[in-house]
Structures are given as C-alpha cells and as structure tokens.
Amino acid sequence: MPAVTLSTLQALKQKGEKIAMLTAYDATFAKLACQAGVDVLLIGDSLGMVVQGHDSTLPVSLADMVYHTAAVKRGNQGALILSDLSFMSYANLEQTYASCAALMQAGAHMVKLEGAAWLAEPISRLAERGVPVCAHLGLTPQSVNVFGGYKVQGRGEAQARQLLADAMALEQAGAAMLLLECVPSALAAEISRAVQIPVIGIGAGVDTDGQVLVMHDLLGLSLSGRTPKFVKNFMSGQDSLLGAFSAYVRAVKAAEFPAAEHGFSA
C-alpha cells in the first residue's frame, strides 16, 4: 500500500471516505495499527497520562515527544505520523520553530498545536517553512486549568460561532487539518462542511471527516477507572489486539462509530 500523505487525507475528505486515526507511542503498537489499516498515527501528549501515569498532559516534555515520535517512526508501515507539541513548547515563534524541527527530524510528518485563532501567525509561518500543522480546537487538554476541568466546548450560540470562526481563520492561515475534541456533534458537522481541510473528531460526533481515539481507551484500559462518554471498548468481543484495532478501523470507515450516544448536544 502507498504511504498515506496529506494529499491522501484530502482526497478521502473529497470522496466522503472516513479517516481512521489512532494514538501510538512505540514501534510495536505503531506496526500493529498500520496492519489494521489506520491512516494516521498520533503521538499524543496523552502519553503523559496513559504511559507516564500523570493526571494531565502538562508534565510531558518536548524530549518525551521526540523520543516517542522516533519510536513510532521505527514501527510505522505507511501511516502519516502526527506529533503533538507539548505544553509551552510553542510559547513564541523561535521556540515553535525549534520544537517543530525536533519533532519533524524525529519522524513526524505533521505537528499538532492546541489553541484558537491566536495560532494563525505561527501556523502561517510554519506552513511557509514546510511544516504541516493540525490545529486542535474545542477541549484542548493543555488548557485544563483555564477550563476548570475537562468540559465540552462550543455550547451556546456565542461559543459555537467563535469556534467556527476560529476554525475558518486557522484554515485560512494555512492549517492542513483540524482536530475537534468534545464539541457538540451538530457544530462539528457544521465546521467540517465549512472548511476544505480534513476535520478529525474525538467526542465530536460521526459527521467529521475522521475519528481518533487514545489506543488505551480503545482497548478498555484506564488508570483512573473512568471511561469518557466518547469512548468505545473495541477489545470487547475480540481475541487479539489486531482484531480490536481492525474493528475500530472498520467502524470508523463505515461511519458506525461514533454512535449517537458517544456525542454531545449543544
């Protein structure tokens, strides 16, 4: 199979075919996800919680992200590799350039930044310099202390209009992809229609261009014992990890996941 590129993802959106994204943090699971047909491997700063055991993503360092990106690259078999910029590793332009260079040199094909319309300038500058960017909107876990917890974003008319405006501004600035987390399903569908770039959802309903889950959630593993509403245990009924990953990919591609119960209302 040919390697997945940004052009591949754009073509999938244009054809109305869903994109399957999954987190990976090491070579073994990266290889397994590729065998299951995952299009995009996300090295998420979620590793701070599911791998390192922290209670948020904030303690994750850029060095952590570089290490895990390099490990995933060694196991990758054709998926597009997307890596998170860790907390405060993009506080100014010079730092952003250095952080992105480190991730791209480790094996990332695209980087992900959390924020809103204020990201327009760094996204534009990065696009000019050959760094594709995925903009993460909605519930942005690095801002958990500002939000006062992990809460749905974009509820109410004012918040919804602002989120839509942010999405369009970041596309205009040069973002190559959007990720919407914990956004009302109807709003996520509207944003997906309003922009030309692929939109990936997590807790954002079935009408985005693709879906992402944290691998450990997909497998029914949780340190906290709490299962987010948007999660489905794909290990249930399967006798192998490959079976669980494959079931997830099939469900995403068939628009069977997420179901209505996995989404949020306005």
Binding-site residues:
45-46, 84, 112, 114
Residue 241 main-chain phi, psi, to 5 deg: -65, -40
CA gap 200, 179 in Å, rounded? 5
What DSSP letter does each residue of 205-254 carry, written as one string?
A: -TTSSEEEE-HHHHTT--SSS---TT---TTTT-SSHHHHHHHHHHHHHT
Binding residues for 3-methyl-2-oxobutanoate: 45-46, 84, 112
Residue 190 annotated to the active site: no
Q: What count of Cα atoms within 13 Å lies in the side-chain half-sphere of residue 9?
A: 30
Binding residues for Mg(2+): 45, 84, 114
Closest Cα partner for 114 from 80, 81, 91, 131?
91
**Which residue is catalytic, options 17, 94, 121, 181?**
181
Closest Cα partner for 103 from 91, 128, 86?
86
Residues identified as active-site = 181
